[in-house]
Structure 1
């Protein structure tokens, strides 16, 4: 049977589609990785990798890689069970956080977490939720904070809090001169968004459809800061979350909120982790603390 390390090499090849990058991702030399994959193919009596550009797995290779991911995840859980049994509410948790949440909520939450659980360490990785869900399934992340909705097999999803979303624009936008504004008044107005991999893009798209506004697909932002700055320059309007607008690293220094009579838009932030994870009660405690911190800010 192949070793766990060999299975890890196969998964890395599927993820990167390149022998060199796969070797780099698992911290071995390319010749070592290639040799181990060949040895695994000999042991199993099946071709697993189509060697070309890009490198692809054969149908059998893909099936084995899918099962290998589960094996690797289970091994990680075994280690976590042992660690948890030894240390209690301690150890290192790999936490994935959406960039539309992390910079504006996590600093205060981390202070509170360290105060309440000093032996608990957080390895925090910001990333696009669609990518991080794959990392969660594969065991490269233990837990995520991300906009909902999301559902997935073998995942536990806990809604934490709901925050208002606001339409903002440059302070000299003509609509600010009106005493009353409704969503229909933004018909044809250009609206900026993050790229389509972000949940907020889909929400912005939906809101634009309701308002009859134009989603600017050629000017997608890379962060909430970039959206605010582009909106402040007059390029278009932007839809930003309350926590961001209240935070000193975000704010309203160059944009202004529209007070819209029939505007009720919001988003829900949730915590997500694998069902049956060894640290489930730790994840739940972290989720409760993050929710309490957010609600305190929003109160």
Structure 2
């Protein structure tokens, strides 16, 4: 019978497609990882990894077993969570998925506060595209995700956290900079920067551009909010930046100015989601409330 450790090592290789990185993620040496995978294949009587391939690839049976192994490990984590809750000791690692347009500007204060309150609680942070993280949540690769709504998936519990204001920003040399009252019509024909289409952010900028009669610069898509910030500062175009980014130390508004657009408001709804049947659902509801409270302080 395979051991839990062997299944964890196998899944690390299946997800990372690299023996060295898989060993590092499991905190073991690469020879130990290879030995345990050989032992797993011997126990099962079949090859799970195609070692003749130029890159790390799973065999057909390896792909099928990897999906079943994920379900097995998810159930084992739930068993451990039930036992921990019975001891009234919420602890362990929460695998948190979060969008890169939010994580660096919300999590530092949150994790610092939680570490002071619950020293035995740890977070494994995975930044990613919300649509992809919804699939990771359903498959058990992550436990909890936080990002812009809507989040849609089967058997998920989704709760609203907060509405984050968004501001139009321009370079300090832009012809609209310094004007005290800007009408929506003044933004007609202006060019807005965005991220690639997989992000909720791209879709929101697209809606705003349609609303204002503005143009979205598809030839200059940023890779992060920082890259958009820097391009705006250099005069490439305008942007819509989230409030937590503009208030953060790692983001900020050093190169740009906010444009006071009259009778116009833009927000994005931030939500949390987890598997509805998770044994740790109550803990995730508590964490969601903690995130909501921390965001309210940051936005106050």
> What TM-score do the two structures reach when normalised by structure 1?
0.81
**Which residue does 2:289 correspond to in 1?**
288
**Which residue does 2:54 correspond to in 1?**
53
Residue 144 of structure 1, CA deviation: 2.5
Q: CA separation in 2, counterparts of 1:94 and 1:48?
A: 26
Residue 81 of structure 1, CA deviation: 2.0
Q: CA separation in 1, counterparts of 2:143 and 2:162?
A: 20
- 8 Å Cα contact 2:98-2:126 kept in structure 1: yes
**Which residue does 2:69 correspond to in 1?**
68
Alignment partner of 1:199 is 2:215: no
Residue 256 of structure 1, CA deviation: 2.1
Residue 280 of structure 1, CA deviation: 2.0
Cα 1:295–1:22, aligned 2, differ >3 Å: closer, same or farther? closer
**Which residue does 1:12 correspond to in 2?**
12
**Which residue does 2:82 correspond to in 1?**
81
- The alignment of Structure 1 onto Structure 2 pairs a total of residues equal to 297
Alignment partner of 1:254 is 2:250: no
SS across alignment from 2:150: coil
- 8 Å Cα contact 1:113-1:286 kept in structure 2: no
Cα 1:154–1:60, aligned 2, differ >3 Å: closer, same or farther? farther
Cα 1:118–1:196, aligned 2, differ >3 Å: closer, same or farther? same
**Which residue does 1:182 correspond to in 2?**
184
**Which residue does 1:172 correspond to in 2?**
173
- 8 Å Cα contact 1:128-1:198 kept in structure 2: no
SS across alignment from 1:235: coil
Residue 23 of structure 1, CA deviation: 3.5
Residue 183 of structure 1, CA deviation: 5.6
**Which residue does 1:243 correspond to in 2?**
244
1:29-48 alignment to 2 at 5 Å? Answer: 29-48=29-48
SS across alignment from 1:160: strand
Higher mean C-alpha deviation, range 39-48 or range 229-238: 39-48
Q: CA separation in 1, counterparts of 2:256 and 2:296?
A: 24
Which sections of structure 1, spanning at least 5 residues, go unmatched? none
Q: Deviations over 1:18-61 (max 9, x none)?
A: 33433343344444444544444454444433331222223322
- 8 Å Cα contact 1:144-1:271 kept in structure 2: yes
Alignment partner of 1:127 is 2:127: yes
Q: Deviations over 1:182-234 (max 9, x none)?
A: 268432x3322234443313322343344454433454434333322321221
Q: CA separation in 2, counterparts of 1:126 and 1:49?
A: 25
Q: CA separation in 2, counterparts of 1:229 and 1:137?
A: 36
- 8 Å Cα contact 2:9-2:22 kept in structure 1: yes
> What TM-score do the two structures reach when normalised by structure 2?
0.81
Residue 297 of structure 1, CA deviation: 4.5
**Which residue does 1:26 correspond to in 2?**
26
Cα 1:197–1:122, aligned 2, differ >3 Å: closer, same or farther? farther
**Which residue does 1:228 correspond to in 2?**
229
RMSD across aligned positions (CA): 3.2
Q: CA separation in 1, counterparts of 2:97 and 2:226?
A: 20
- 8 Å Cα contact 1:161-1:294 kept in structure 2: yes
